[in-house]
Chains A and B, each alone.
Chain A
Amino acid sequence: MLLALAVLVVLLLAWAAFTLTRLRRLAGRVDRAWVTLEGTLARRAELADAVAREHADELGPLRADALRSAAAAARRPSGGDREVAENALGRLVRELPEPLRAPELDDAGWRVGLARRFYNDAVRDTRALRRRPGPRTLRLHARRPMPRFFDIDDGLDAVVGTGPAGRG
Protein backbone atom coordinates (compact mmCIF):
# COMPACT_ATOMS: atom_id res chain seq x y z
CA MET A 1 0.00 0.00 0.00
CA LEU A 2 2.72 2.37 1.08
CA LEU A 3 4.81 1.29 -1.87
CA ALA A 4 1.96 1.95 -4.26
CA LEU A 5 1.53 5.37 -2.75
CA ALA A 6 5.24 6.09 -3.10
CA VAL A 7 5.20 5.01 -6.74
CA LEU A 8 2.22 7.24 -7.32
CA VAL A 9 3.93 10.23 -5.76
CA VAL A 10 7.08 9.65 -7.80
CA LEU A 11 5.05 9.40 -10.98
CA LEU A 12 3.18 12.56 -10.12
CA LEU A 13 6.41 14.43 -9.43
CA ALA A 14 7.94 13.21 -12.68
CA TRP A 15 4.87 14.32 -14.55
CA ALA A 16 4.89 17.72 -12.85
CA ALA A 17 8.58 18.20 -13.66
CA PHE A 18 7.96 17.25 -17.26
CA THR A 19 5.03 19.64 -17.53
CA LEU A 20 6.98 22.45 -15.90
CA THR A 21 9.73 21.94 -18.48
CA ARG A 22 7.14 22.16 -21.21
CA LEU A 23 5.66 25.32 -19.76
CA ARG A 24 9.06 26.91 -19.34
CA ARG A 25 9.96 26.16 -22.95
CA LEU A 26 6.63 27.48 -24.16
CA ALA A 27 7.07 30.69 -22.17
CA GLY A 28 10.46 31.13 -23.83
CA ARG A 29 8.95 30.48 -27.23
CA VAL A 30 6.21 33.06 -26.64
CA ASP A 31 8.77 35.65 -25.50
CA ARG A 32 11.05 35.11 -28.48
CA ALA A 33 8.14 35.17 -30.92
CA TRP A 34 6.90 38.43 -29.38
CA VAL A 35 10.29 40.10 -29.71
CA THR A 36 10.41 39.09 -33.37
CA LEU A 37 6.86 40.28 -33.96
CA GLU A 38 7.60 43.65 -32.38
CA GLY A 39 10.70 43.93 -34.54
CA THR A 40 8.77 43.30 -37.76
CA LEU A 41 6.03 45.74 -36.72
CA ALA A 42 8.59 48.42 -35.95
CA ARG A 43 10.25 47.91 -39.30
CA ARG A 44 6.97 48.24 -41.14
CA ALA A 45 6.12 51.44 -39.25
CA GLU A 46 9.54 52.83 -40.04
CA LEU A 47 9.23 52.09 -43.75
CA ALA A 48 5.71 53.52 -43.87
CA ASP A 49 6.89 56.67 -42.16
CA ALA A 50 9.71 57.00 -44.69
CA VAL A 51 7.24 56.66 -47.56
CA ALA A 52 4.98 59.29 -45.97
CA ARG A 53 7.84 61.74 -45.64
CA GLU A 54 9.59 61.12 -48.97
CA HIS A 55 6.50 60.91 -51.15
CA ALA A 56 4.29 63.47 -49.43
CA ASP A 57 3.62 65.24 -52.74
CA GLU A 58 2.48 62.14 -54.64
CA LEU A 59 0.33 61.01 -51.75
CA GLY A 60 -1.35 64.33 -51.18
CA PRO A 61 -1.37 66.01 -47.77
CA LEU A 62 -4.36 64.05 -46.45
CA ARG A 63 -2.99 60.60 -47.09
CA ALA A 64 0.56 61.47 -46.15
CA ASP A 65 -0.69 62.83 -42.84
CA ALA A 66 -2.82 59.77 -42.18
CA LEU A 67 0.08 57.46 -42.93
CA ARG A 68 2.49 59.43 -40.80
CA SER A 69 0.20 59.52 -37.80
CA ALA A 70 -0.68 55.83 -38.21
CA ALA A 71 3.02 54.97 -38.24
CA ALA A 72 3.56 57.11 -35.16
CA ALA A 73 0.62 55.50 -33.34
CA ALA A 74 1.92 52.06 -34.18
CA ARG A 75 5.37 52.95 -32.88
CA ARG A 76 4.13 54.31 -29.59
CA PRO A 77 5.09 51.81 -26.90
CA SER A 78 2.32 49.63 -25.49
CA GLY A 79 -0.12 52.38 -24.38
CA GLY A 80 -3.42 52.44 -26.20
CA ASP A 81 -4.75 49.66 -28.35
CA ARG A 82 -1.79 48.30 -30.21
CA GLU A 83 -3.82 46.02 -32.44
CA VAL A 84 -6.08 48.81 -33.66
CA ALA A 85 -3.08 51.02 -34.43
CA GLU A 86 -1.32 48.24 -36.35
CA ASN A 87 -4.49 47.41 -38.24
CA ALA A 88 -4.90 51.01 -39.30
CA LEU A 89 -1.32 51.15 -40.48
CA GLY A 90 -1.55 47.82 -42.29
CA ARG A 91 -4.68 48.97 -44.13
CA LEU A 92 -3.08 52.25 -45.22
CA VAL A 93 0.02 50.43 -46.40
CA ARG A 94 -2.00 47.95 -48.44
CA GLU A 95 -3.96 50.82 -50.00
CA LEU A 96 -0.83 52.64 -51.14
CA PRO A 97 -0.73 53.11 -54.91
CA GLU A 98 1.50 50.60 -56.70
CA PRO A 99 4.54 52.80 -57.53
CA LEU A 100 4.87 53.94 -53.91
CA ARG A 101 4.54 50.49 -52.42
CA ALA A 102 8.21 49.63 -52.42
CA PRO A 103 9.15 45.94 -52.45
CA GLU A 104 10.62 46.41 -48.98
CA LEU A 105 7.23 47.45 -47.69
CA ASP A 106 5.59 44.33 -49.12
CA ASP A 107 8.38 42.26 -47.66
CA ALA A 108 7.90 43.92 -44.27
CA GLY A 109 4.18 43.14 -44.44
CA TRP A 110 4.82 39.49 -45.24
CA ARG A 111 7.25 39.22 -42.35
CA VAL A 112 4.69 40.75 -40.00
CA GLY A 113 2.31 38.04 -41.16
CA LEU A 114 4.84 35.28 -40.52
CA ALA A 115 5.86 36.61 -37.13
CA ARG A 116 2.25 37.07 -36.06
CA ARG A 117 1.31 33.56 -37.08
CA PHE A 118 4.24 32.03 -35.21
CA TYR A 119 3.55 34.18 -32.15
CA ASN A 120 -0.11 33.23 -32.05
CA ASP A 121 0.88 29.62 -32.56
CA ALA A 122 3.11 29.79 -29.49
CA VAL A 123 0.31 31.47 -27.52
CA ARG A 124 -2.15 28.80 -28.62
CA ASP A 125 0.14 25.97 -27.51
CA THR A 126 0.72 27.66 -24.16
CA ARG A 127 -2.96 28.31 -23.49
CA ALA A 128 -3.86 24.77 -24.50
CA LEU A 129 -1.41 23.28 -22.03
CA ARG A 130 -2.25 25.66 -19.18
CA ARG A 131 -5.96 25.01 -19.56
CA ARG A 132 -5.57 21.25 -19.26
CA PRO A 133 -6.93 19.77 -16.01
CA GLY A 134 -3.52 18.58 -14.78
CA PRO A 135 -1.63 21.89 -14.86
CA ARG A 136 -4.72 23.69 -13.53
CA THR A 137 -5.14 21.35 -10.56
CA LEU A 138 -1.49 21.63 -9.64
CA ARG A 139 -1.58 25.38 -10.38
CA LEU A 140 1.51 25.17 -12.59
CA HIS A 141 2.43 28.64 -13.85
CA ALA A 142 -0.96 29.75 -12.52
CA ARG A 143 0.31 33.11 -11.28
CA ARG A 144 1.73 34.09 -14.62
CA PRO A 145 -0.52 36.10 -16.89
CA MET A 146 -2.00 34.06 -19.71
CA PRO A 147 -0.31 35.15 -22.97
CA ARG A 148 -2.64 37.05 -25.29
CA PHE A 149 -3.22 36.47 -28.96
CA PHE A 150 -2.21 39.31 -31.25
CA ASP A 151 -5.06 39.72 -33.68
CA ILE A 152 -4.45 41.93 -36.65
CA ASP A 153 -5.45 41.59 -40.25
CA ASP A 154 -2.19 41.01 -42.05
CA GLY A 155 -3.72 39.88 -45.31
CA LEU A 156 -1.89 36.56 -45.07
CA ASP A 157 -5.01 34.42 -44.92
CA ALA A 158 -6.35 35.83 -48.13
CA VAL A 159 -3.44 34.69 -50.21
CA VAL A 160 -2.69 31.19 -49.05
CA GLY A 161 -1.59 28.93 -51.84
CA THR A 162 1.10 30.89 -53.52
CA GLY A 163 2.24 33.17 -50.76
CA PRO A 164 1.63 36.88 -50.52
CA ALA A 165 0.72 38.92 -53.52
CA GLY A 166 3.39 41.17 -54.89
CA ARG A 167 6.27 38.84 -54.14
CA GLY A 168 8.29 36.55 -56.37
Chain B
Amino acid sequence: MRVGLVCPYNWDVPGGVQYHVRDLAETLRGMGHEVDVLTPAEQEESLPPGATWAGRAIPIPYNGSMASWQFGVLSAARTRRWLREGHFDVVHVHEPAPPSVALLVCMIADGPIVATFHAASVRSKVLAAWGPVVRPWLERIAGRIAVSDFARRLQVEHVGGDAVVIPNGVQVAAFAEGPRLPAAEHDGPTVGFLGRYDEPRKGLPVLLEAMRSVVRELPGARLLVAGRGDPDELRALVGPDLEPAVVLLGELDEADKAAFLRTVDVYCAPNLMGESFGVVLVEAMAAGAPVVAADLDAFARVLADGDAGVLVRRGDATALARVLVDLLGDPDRRAQLTAAGHDRAQDFDWGTLAARIVDVYETVAPPGGGEVTAHGADEDPLPAEPTAPTRMDGFLPRWLRRS
Protein backbone atom coordinates (compact mmCIF):
# COMPACT_ATOMS: atom_id res chain seq x y z
CA MET B 1 0.00 0.00 0.00
CA ARG B 2 1.00 3.62 -0.34
CA VAL B 3 0.72 5.17 3.09
CA GLY B 4 1.01 8.83 4.05
CA LEU B 5 1.91 9.35 7.70
CA VAL B 6 1.38 12.74 9.33
CA CYS B 7 3.31 13.80 12.43
CA PRO B 8 2.08 17.04 14.05
CA TYR B 9 5.18 17.80 16.11
CA ASN B 10 8.58 19.09 15.06
CA TRP B 11 10.55 16.10 13.80
CA ASP B 12 13.90 17.28 15.17
CA VAL B 13 12.58 17.66 18.72
CA PRO B 14 12.61 14.36 20.62
CA GLY B 15 9.16 13.13 21.57
CA GLY B 16 7.02 10.04 21.81
CA VAL B 17 4.76 10.80 18.87
CA GLN B 18 7.72 11.56 16.60
CA TYR B 19 9.40 8.27 17.50
CA HIS B 20 6.13 6.45 17.04
CA VAL B 21 5.74 7.81 13.51
CA ARG B 22 9.38 7.14 12.67
CA ASP B 23 9.31 3.54 13.88
CA LEU B 24 5.95 2.85 12.25
CA ALA B 25 7.27 4.23 8.94
CA GLU B 26 10.40 2.09 9.17
CA THR B 27 8.46 -1.06 10.05
CA LEU B 28 5.92 -0.51 7.29
CA ARG B 29 8.72 -0.03 4.75
CA GLY B 30 10.29 -3.23 5.99
CA MET B 31 6.97 -4.97 5.30
CA GLY B 32 7.07 -3.76 1.71
CA HIS B 33 4.73 -0.74 1.89
CA GLU B 34 5.55 2.64 0.43
CA VAL B 35 5.54 5.34 3.08
CA ASP B 36 5.96 9.09 3.06
CA VAL B 37 5.88 11.21 6.20
CA LEU B 38 4.57 14.78 6.38
CA THR B 39 5.96 16.57 9.40
CA PRO B 40 6.99 19.98 10.65
CA ALA B 41 10.58 20.47 11.76
CA GLU B 42 12.69 23.35 13.01
CA GLN B 43 15.31 22.57 10.38
CA GLU B 44 14.17 21.27 7.04
CA GLU B 45 17.60 19.65 6.56
CA SER B 46 17.06 17.41 9.60
CA LEU B 47 14.45 15.34 7.79
CA PRO B 48 15.44 11.89 6.55
CA PRO B 49 14.64 10.72 3.02
CA GLY B 50 11.01 9.73 2.74
CA ALA B 51 9.81 12.70 4.76
CA THR B 52 8.27 15.95 3.54
CA TRP B 53 8.67 19.24 5.36
CA ALA B 54 5.47 20.96 6.46
CA GLY B 55 7.01 24.09 7.94
CA ARG B 56 7.64 24.80 11.60
CA ALA B 57 5.29 24.06 14.46
CA ILE B 58 5.26 26.53 17.33
CA PRO B 59 5.56 24.73 20.65
CA ILE B 60 3.15 25.86 23.35
CA PRO B 61 3.33 24.62 26.92
CA TYR B 62 0.21 22.73 27.87
CA ASN B 63 -0.55 20.71 30.94
CA GLY B 64 3.07 20.53 32.04
CA SER B 65 4.08 19.25 28.65
CA MET B 66 4.47 20.63 25.16
CA ALA B 67 1.77 20.85 22.55
CA SER B 68 2.26 22.59 19.28
CA TRP B 69 0.47 25.00 17.04
CA GLN B 70 0.69 25.14 13.30
CA PHE B 71 -2.15 26.51 11.29
CA GLY B 72 -1.11 28.82 8.52
CA VAL B 73 -1.89 29.33 4.88
CA LEU B 74 1.58 28.16 3.98
CA SER B 75 1.22 24.97 5.96
CA ALA B 76 -2.12 24.34 4.27
CA ALA B 77 -0.53 24.79 0.86
CA ARG B 78 2.31 22.39 1.67
CA THR B 79 -0.20 19.89 3.00
CA ARG B 80 -2.30 20.08 -0.12
CA ARG B 81 0.71 19.61 -2.37
CA TRP B 82 1.89 16.61 -0.35
CA LEU B 83 -1.56 15.00 -0.61
CA ARG B 84 -1.75 15.65 -4.32
CA GLU B 85 1.69 14.35 -5.14
CA GLY B 86 1.56 11.38 -2.77
CA HIS B 87 -1.16 9.29 -4.45
CA PHE B 88 -1.75 7.56 -1.14
CA ASP B 89 -4.11 4.63 -0.62
CA VAL B 90 -4.56 5.76 2.95
CA VAL B 91 -3.46 8.73 5.05
CA HIS B 92 -2.66 8.10 8.70
CA VAL B 93 -2.66 11.21 10.90
CA HIS B 94 -1.45 11.35 14.48
CA GLU B 95 -3.02 13.45 17.21
CA PRO B 96 -5.41 15.27 14.88
CA ALA B 97 -7.40 17.30 17.43
CA PRO B 98 -5.01 20.20 18.15
CA PRO B 99 -4.54 22.84 15.47
CA SER B 100 -1.68 21.24 13.60
CA VAL B 101 -0.72 19.88 10.24
CA ALA B 102 -2.59 16.68 11.19
CA LEU B 103 -5.86 18.61 11.51
CA LEU B 104 -5.08 20.37 8.22
CA VAL B 105 -4.82 17.00 6.53
CA CYS B 106 -8.24 16.04 7.91
CA MET B 107 -9.64 19.26 6.48
CA ILE B 108 -8.06 18.99 3.07
CA ALA B 109 -7.81 15.27 2.32
CA ASP B 110 -10.58 13.43 0.56
CA GLY B 111 -10.34 9.66 0.95
CA PRO B 112 -9.62 7.07 3.62
CA ILE B 113 -8.15 8.69 6.74
CA VAL B 114 -6.92 6.76 9.77
CA ALA B 115 -6.09 8.64 12.97
CA THR B 116 -4.13 7.66 16.04
CA PHE B 117 -4.94 9.41 19.30
CA HIS B 118 -2.04 9.59 21.73
CA ALA B 119 -3.24 12.21 24.18
CA ALA B 120 -3.90 11.46 27.77
CA SER B 121 -4.29 14.20 30.29
CA VAL B 122 -6.42 14.16 33.36
CA ARG B 123 -7.32 17.81 32.97
CA SER B 124 -9.03 17.62 29.64
CA LYS B 125 -11.06 20.83 29.84
CA VAL B 126 -9.26 22.18 26.83
CA LEU B 127 -10.14 19.12 24.82
CA ALA B 128 -13.74 19.22 26.02
CA ALA B 129 -14.09 22.79 24.78
CA TRP B 130 -12.10 22.25 21.60
CA GLY B 131 -13.63 18.92 20.59
CA PRO B 132 -16.91 20.30 19.22
CA VAL B 133 -15.05 22.97 17.23
CA VAL B 134 -13.01 20.48 15.23
CA ARG B 135 -15.70 17.82 15.07
CA PRO B 136 -16.77 18.58 11.48
CA TRP B 137 -13.29 17.61 10.31
CA LEU B 138 -12.59 14.77 12.69
CA GLU B 139 -15.82 13.27 11.35
CA ARG B 140 -13.97 12.48 8.14
CA ILE B 141 -11.72 9.98 9.87
CA ALA B 142 -12.79 6.50 8.82
CA GLY B 143 -10.77 4.52 11.36
CA ARG B 144 -9.68 5.70 14.78
CA ILE B 145 -6.89 4.11 16.79
CA ALA B 146 -6.07 4.90 20.42
CA VAL B 147 -2.72 3.93 21.91
CA SER B 148 -4.22 3.10 25.30
CA ASP B 149 -7.54 2.53 27.01
CA PHE B 150 -7.09 5.90 28.59
CA ALA B 151 -6.63 7.65 25.27
CA ARG B 152 -9.65 5.79 23.97
CA ARG B 153 -11.79 6.91 26.89
CA LEU B 154 -10.73 10.51 26.39
CA GLN B 155 -11.66 10.15 22.76
CA VAL B 156 -15.09 8.71 23.54
CA GLU B 157 -15.84 11.42 26.07
CA HIS B 158 -14.65 14.53 24.32
CA VAL B 159 -14.30 14.02 20.63
CA GLY B 160 -17.26 11.68 20.38
CA GLY B 161 -16.33 8.47 18.67
CA ASP B 162 -14.88 5.13 19.48
CA ALA B 163 -11.43 3.84 18.70
CA VAL B 164 -9.73 0.50 18.49
CA VAL B 165 -6.82 0.17 20.90
CA ILE B 166 -3.46 -0.63 19.36
CA PRO B 167 -0.65 0.23 21.75
CA ASN B 168 2.63 1.92 20.99
CA GLY B 169 5.33 -0.29 19.59
CA VAL B 170 8.96 -0.71 20.45
CA GLN B 171 11.80 -2.08 18.33
CA VAL B 172 12.48 -4.83 20.85
CA ALA B 173 15.56 -6.24 19.13
CA ALA B 174 17.25 -2.83 19.03
CA PHE B 175 16.91 -2.54 22.80
CA ALA B 176 17.68 -6.13 23.72
CA GLU B 177 21.07 -6.41 22.02
CA GLY B 178 23.96 -3.99 22.20
CA PRO B 179 26.67 -2.42 24.32
CA ARG B 180 26.31 -0.99 27.80
CA LEU B 181 26.73 2.70 28.52
CA PRO B 182 30.19 3.35 30.06
CA ALA B 183 29.02 6.61 31.66
CA ALA B 184 26.37 4.67 33.58
CA GLU B 185 28.73 1.96 34.86
CA HIS B 186 29.15 2.07 38.60
CA ASP B 187 30.45 -0.25 41.31
CA GLY B 188 27.38 -0.01 43.50
CA PRO B 189 23.71 -0.57 42.65
CA THR B 190 22.18 1.88 40.18
CA VAL B 191 18.68 3.24 39.61
CA GLY B 192 17.91 4.84 36.27
CA PHE B 193 15.54 7.72 35.54
CA LEU B 194 14.78 8.88 32.04
CA GLY B 195 12.80 11.86 30.88
CA ARG B 196 12.45 15.62 30.97
CA TYR B 197 13.37 16.03 34.61
CA ASP B 198 12.09 19.59 34.90
CA GLU B 199 8.52 18.47 34.23
CA PRO B 200 6.85 17.95 37.59
CA ARG B 201 4.51 15.27 36.28
CA LYS B 202 7.48 13.03 35.54
CA GLY B 203 7.83 12.70 39.29
CA LEU B 204 11.58 13.08 39.78
CA PRO B 205 11.12 14.85 43.17
CA VAL B 206 9.41 11.72 44.52
CA LEU B 207 12.28 9.54 43.36
CA LEU B 208 14.85 11.94 44.88
CA GLU B 209 13.01 11.78 48.18
CA ALA B 210 13.05 7.99 47.99
CA MET B 211 16.76 7.98 47.12
CA ARG B 212 17.55 9.70 50.43
CA SER B 213 16.32 6.57 52.23
CA VAL B 214 17.89 4.22 49.69
CA VAL B 215 21.32 5.80 50.15
CA ARG B 216 21.00 5.51 53.94
CA GLU B 217 20.50 1.74 53.57
CA LEU B 218 22.81 1.16 50.61
CA PRO B 219 25.50 3.86 50.75
CA GLY B 220 26.96 2.90 47.35
CA ALA B 221 23.68 3.32 45.45
CA ARG B 222 23.50 5.86 42.64
CA LEU B 223 20.64 7.52 40.81
CA LEU B 224 21.43 8.07 37.14
CA VAL B 225 19.32 10.81 35.57
CA ALA B 226 19.16 11.01 31.79
CA GLY B 227 17.07 13.49 29.85
CA ARG B 228 16.59 17.13 29.07
CA GLY B 229 16.26 19.99 31.51
CA ASP B 230 18.11 22.70 33.36
CA PRO B 231 21.06 21.14 35.27
CA ASP B 232 21.18 24.01 37.81
CA GLU B 233 17.53 23.58 38.62
CA LEU B 234 18.12 19.88 39.15
CA ARG B 235 21.10 20.53 41.43
CA ALA B 236 18.96 22.84 43.55
CA LEU B 237 16.30 20.13 43.74
CA VAL B 238 18.83 17.44 44.70
CA GLY B 239 20.39 19.45 47.50
CA PRO B 240 23.92 19.06 48.90
CA ASP B 241 23.12 15.97 50.99
CA LEU B 242 22.12 13.85 48.02
CA GLU B 243 24.45 15.34 45.45
CA PRO B 244 27.15 12.60 45.59
CA ALA B 245 24.52 9.92 44.91
CA VAL B 246 23.03 11.55 41.81
CA VAL B 247 24.73 11.42 38.42
CA LEU B 248 23.39 13.64 35.67
CA LEU B 249 24.00 12.15 32.25
CA GLY B 250 22.21 14.82 30.21
CA GLU B 251 20.26 14.13 27.09
CA LEU B 252 20.95 10.77 25.46
CA ASP B 253 20.45 9.86 21.83
CA GLU B 254 18.44 6.76 20.97
CA ALA B 255 21.43 4.40 20.90
CA ASP B 256 22.74 5.70 24.22
CA LYS B 257 19.27 5.49 25.73
CA ALA B 258 19.12 1.77 24.91
CA ALA B 259 22.64 1.33 26.28
CA PHE B 260 21.61 3.23 29.41
CA LEU B 261 18.63 0.93 29.97
CA ARG B 262 20.83 -2.14 29.49
CA THR B 263 23.27 -0.82 32.10
CA VAL B 264 21.10 0.24 35.06
CA ASP B 265 20.19 -2.29 37.76
CA VAL B 266 16.64 -0.93 38.11
CA TYR B 267 14.66 1.43 35.91
CA CYS B 268 12.26 3.69 37.80
CA ALA B 269 9.28 5.64 36.38
CA PRO B 270 7.86 7.64 39.30
CA ASN B 271 5.44 9.64 37.12
CA LEU B 272 2.61 11.37 38.90
CA MET B 273 0.09 11.78 36.10
CA GLY B 274 -0.79 12.17 32.47
CA GLU B 275 1.20 9.39 30.88
CA SER B 276 -0.52 8.25 27.72
CA PHE B 277 1.03 4.85 27.48
CA GLY B 278 4.54 4.48 28.82
CA VAL B 279 6.65 3.39 25.86
CA VAL B 280 9.72 3.85 27.95
CA LEU B 281 8.57 1.05 30.24
CA VAL B 282 8.41 -1.32 27.30
CA GLU B 283 11.83 -0.11 26.17
CA ALA B 284 13.26 -0.77 29.61
CA MET B 285 11.74 -4.27 29.64
CA ALA B 286 13.09 -4.93 26.15
CA ALA B 287 16.54 -3.83 27.32
CA GLY B 288 16.32 -6.19 30.28
CA ALA B 289 16.01 -3.61 33.06
CA PRO B 290 13.73 -4.54 35.97
CA VAL B 291 11.03 -1.86 36.10
CA VAL B 292 9.65 -0.04 39.13
CA ALA B 293 6.79 2.27 38.16
CA ALA B 294 4.03 4.41 39.61
CA ASP B 295 0.64 2.71 39.59
CA LEU B 296 -0.87 4.82 36.80
CA ASP B 297 -3.53 2.93 34.82
CA ALA B 298 -1.42 2.88 31.67
CA PHE B 299 1.67 1.68 33.51
CA ALA B 300 -0.25 -1.06 35.32
CA ARG B 301 -1.51 -2.31 31.99
CA VAL B 302 1.91 -2.29 30.36
CA LEU B 303 3.37 -4.15 33.33
CA ALA B 304 0.53 -6.73 33.20
CA ASP B 305 -0.79 -5.53 36.57
CA GLY B 306 2.54 -6.04 38.24
CA ASP B 307 3.54 -9.38 36.72
CA ALA B 308 6.21 -7.81 34.55
CA GLY B 309 7.40 -5.09 36.94
CA VAL B 310 6.82 -3.59 40.36
CA LEU B 311 4.03 -1.04 40.83
CA VAL B 312 4.25 1.56 43.59
CA ARG B 313 1.53 3.97 44.73
CA ARG B 314 2.12 7.22 42.87
CA GLY B 315 3.78 9.96 44.87
CA ASP B 316 4.60 7.64 47.77
CA ALA B 317 8.33 8.15 48.37
CA THR B 318 8.46 5.85 51.40
CA ALA B 319 6.96 2.89 49.54
CA LEU B 320 9.18 3.58 46.56
CA ALA B 321 12.29 3.61 48.75
CA ARG B 322 11.33 0.29 50.31
CA VAL B 323 10.78 -1.35 46.93
CA LEU B 324 14.06 0.00 45.57
CA VAL B 325 16.08 -1.17 48.58
CA ASP B 326 14.54 -4.66 48.38
CA LEU B 327 15.10 -4.97 44.67
CA LEU B 328 18.66 -3.62 44.62
CA GLY B 329 19.61 -6.17 47.26
CA ASP B 330 17.96 -9.16 45.57
CA PRO B 331 19.63 -10.25 42.29
CA ASP B 332 17.33 -13.29 41.93
CA ARG B 333 14.19 -11.18 42.02
CA ARG B 334 15.77 -8.79 39.49
CA ALA B 335 16.61 -11.66 37.14
CA GLN B 336 13.05 -12.92 37.44
CA LEU B 337 11.66 -9.47 36.59
CA THR B 338 14.04 -9.18 33.65
CA ALA B 339 12.77 -12.46 32.23
CA ALA B 340 9.11 -11.55 32.75
CA GLY B 341 9.71 -8.10 31.27
CA HIS B 342 11.38 -9.55 28.21
CA ASP B 343 8.38 -11.76 27.48
CA ARG B 344 5.98 -8.88 28.00
CA ALA B 345 7.98 -6.58 25.69
CA GLN B 346 7.39 -8.98 22.79
CA ASP B 347 3.68 -8.09 22.89
CA PHE B 348 4.62 -4.53 21.98
CA ASP B 349 7.15 -5.24 19.27
CA TRP B 350 6.61 -3.03 16.23
CA GLY B 351 6.49 -6.02 13.92
CA THR B 352 3.42 -7.33 15.75
CA LEU B 353 1.67 -3.98 16.02
CA ALA B 354 2.38 -2.63 12.54
CA ALA B 355 0.66 -5.72 11.11
CA ARG B 356 -2.45 -4.77 13.10
CA ILE B 357 -2.27 -1.19 11.88
CA VAL B 358 -2.11 -2.48 8.31
CA ASP B 359 -5.30 -4.45 9.07
CA VAL B 360 -6.89 -1.11 9.98
CA TYR B 361 -5.67 0.41 6.69
CA GLU B 362 -7.14 -2.48 4.75
CA THR B 363 -10.44 -2.13 6.58
CA VAL B 364 -10.89 1.55 5.71
CA ALA B 365 -9.26 1.40 2.28
CA PRO B 366 -10.35 -1.79 0.49
CA PRO B 367 -8.55 -2.63 -2.78
CA GLY B 368 -9.86 -0.59 -5.69
CA GLY B 369 -11.23 2.10 -3.37
CA GLY B 370 -9.30 4.87 -5.07
CA GLU B 371 -6.54 7.04 -3.71
CA VAL B 372 -6.62 9.99 -1.35
CA THR B 373 -7.06 13.33 -3.07
CA ALA B 374 -7.04 16.93 -1.91
CA HIS B 375 -9.93 19.38 -2.06
CA GLY B 376 -9.61 22.01 -4.73
CA ALA B 377 -7.61 19.68 -6.93
CA ASP B 378 -8.65 21.67 -9.98
CA GLU B 379 -6.67 24.68 -8.80
CA ASP B 380 -3.37 25.56 -10.39
CA PRO B 381 -0.42 23.70 -8.93
CA LEU B 382 0.93 25.77 -6.08
CA PRO B 383 4.14 27.70 -6.39
CA ALA B 384 6.96 26.63 -4.12
CA GLU B 385 6.29 29.39 -1.59
CA PRO B 386 2.80 30.76 -2.18
CA THR B 387 2.12 34.15 -0.68
CA ALA B 388 -1.50 34.71 -1.62
CA PRO B 389 -4.01 33.07 0.68
CA THR B 390 -5.33 29.86 -0.80
CA ARG B 391 -8.88 28.72 -0.43
CA MET B 392 -8.79 26.04 2.18
CA ASP B 393 -12.13 24.49 2.53
CA GLY B 394 -14.55 27.22 1.76
CA PHE B 395 -16.10 26.88 5.17
CA LEU B 396 -13.11 27.36 7.36
CA PRO B 397 -13.70 30.37 9.60
CA ARG B 398 -11.59 33.32 8.59
CA TRP B 399 -9.87 33.67 11.91
CA LEU B 400 -8.66 30.12 11.61
CA ARG B 401 -7.22 30.71 8.19
CA ARG B 402 -4.81 33.36 9.43
CA SER B 403 -1.52 32.06 10.70
Contact = CB atoms under 8 A, between A and B. Distances in A.
Interface of A: 14, 17-18, 21-22, 25-26, 29, 32-33, 35-36, 39-40, 107, 110-111, 113-115, 117-118, 120-122, 124-125, 128-129, 156, 160-163, 167-168
A162 B167 contact: yes
B160 A110 contact: no
Contacts, number: 79
Contact of A117 (B160, B162, B355): B162
A122 B142 contact: yes
A17 B393 CA distance: 13
Chain B interface size, under 10 / 10 to 19 / 20 to 34 / 35 or more: 20 to 34
Contact of A168 (B143, B149, B347, B395): B347
A3 to B, nearest CB: 19
Interface string B6-49: 00000000000000000000000000000000000000000000
Given A111-B359, A125-B139, 8 more contacts: A26-B139, A117-B162, A118-B363, A121-B161, A125-B160, A161-B149, A161-B167, A168-B355
B180 interface: no
Contacts of B348: 162
A18 B149 contact: no
Contacts of A160: 149, 152, 165
Nearest to A129: B139
22 contacts: A18-B136, A22-B136, A25-B140, A29-B140, A36-B363, A36-B366, A39-B366, A111-B359, A113-B164, A114-B363, A118-B143, A118-B364, A121-B144, A124-B160, A124-B161, A124-B162, A162-B167, A163-B166, A163-B352, A163-B353, A163-B356, A167-B352
Q: Of B149, B152, B164, B348, which is in contact with the most chain A CB atoms at under 10 Å from its CB?
A: B164
Contacts of B359: 107, 110-111, 114
Interface of B: 136, 139-140, 142-144, 149, 152, 160-167, 301, 347-348, 352-353, 355-356, 359-360, 362-364, 366, 369, 395
A125 B136 CA distance: 10
B278 to A, nearest CB: 12
B162 A25 contact: no
Contacts of B356: 163, 167-168
B162 A121 contact: yes
A125 B152 contact: no
Contacts of B143: 114, 118
A25 B364 CA distance: 14
Contacts of B136: 18, 22
Nearest to B348: A162
Contacts of B395: 14, 17-18, 21
A121 to B, nearest CB: 5
